[in-house]
Structure 1
Amino acid sequence: MMTGFLRGISGLFRGFRNVFTRVRATVRLPGAQAPRAPGTARRYNIFEAAAAHVAACAEDDDERTAETAEWVSPEALAFGINELACRAVIALARERSESPQTVARDLLNLPVA
């Protein structure tokens, strides 16, 4: 029984490693790139892009939403938005003293499970 549990945990961490390996390949760290020439576009990280994109969507700013969607790859943006959503639900759940599932369903106006 314990062996199955350890295999499950091992598979979980393998999945995390695979996701982070793919994300790391698409995102460059600030110190890992040469200084940019004046007038060249700034490189954004996935969390900056996700935060700006979600804020623009919340404000119904279509122009800004389209702009932020071009900052990183679609996969990286989706990962950042997912991470932002998870953190937001956890923070609200703690604030409300409710489970994350209850908070998520409430935010989406879904019936109680």
Structure 2
Amino acid sequence: MFDKLMSGIRRFTGQKAGEGPPPARVVRQRQPNLFEAAAAYVSACAEDDQRGIEEASGWVSPEALSFGVNELACRAVIALARERDESPRSVARSLLGLPVA
């Protein structure tokens, strides 16, 4: 019974009798998504980390990175506006050093 079970396992794994276990699979590293890339890119820009900027830029396409940075900016302005009890427009203008309209 055990021999039949082992024979079936060997057939399934492509292993021949007398061989050791199959080699371990190579685990591929997970690719960062566009929001992770945007967070890393913006953080690196804020810290003037050129190496970090270049690394994050290579994780996703330029279009995806642009979308992620835009989404991050929108969420940040909304969070600051709520925290300050101001409008997103006045917070955005204030962050850019523009006069409040």
TM-score (structure 1 length as normaliser): 0.64
Q: Percent identity?
A: 69
What one-letter code is carried by the residue in structure 1 that aligns with 2:99? P
CA distance in 2, matches of 1:37, 1:105: 50
Dislocated runs of 4+, deviation >2 Å: none
What one-letter code is carried by the residue in structure 2 that aligns with 1:94? R
What one-letter code is carried by the residue in structure 2 that aligns with 1:37? V
Superposed, 1:19-98 pairs within 5 Å as 37-38=26-27, 42-98=30-86
Indicate the structure (1 or 2) with the bigger Cα radius of gyration.
2
Q: CA deviation at 1:37?
A: 3.3
Partner deviation per Cα, 1:27-78 (whole Å, 9 max, x = no partner): xxxxxxxxx934x554110000000000000000011101110000000000
CA distance in 2, matches of 1:73, 1:41: 18
What one-letter code is carried by the residue in structure 2 that aligns with 1:67? E
What one-letter code is carried by the residue in structure 1 that aligns with 2:26? A
What one-letter code is carried by the residue in structure 1 that aligns with 2:76? A
Q: Which has the higher helix share?
A: 1
TM-score (structure 2 length as normaliser): 0.72
Runs of 5+ unmatched residues, structure 1: 1-35
CA distance in 2, matches of 1:65, 1:41: 20
Q: Give the RMSD, CA atoms, in angstroms.
A: 1.5
CA distance in 1, matches of 2:86, 2:26: 50
What is the match of residue 13 of structure 2? none
CA distance in 1, matches of 2:38, 2:92: 19
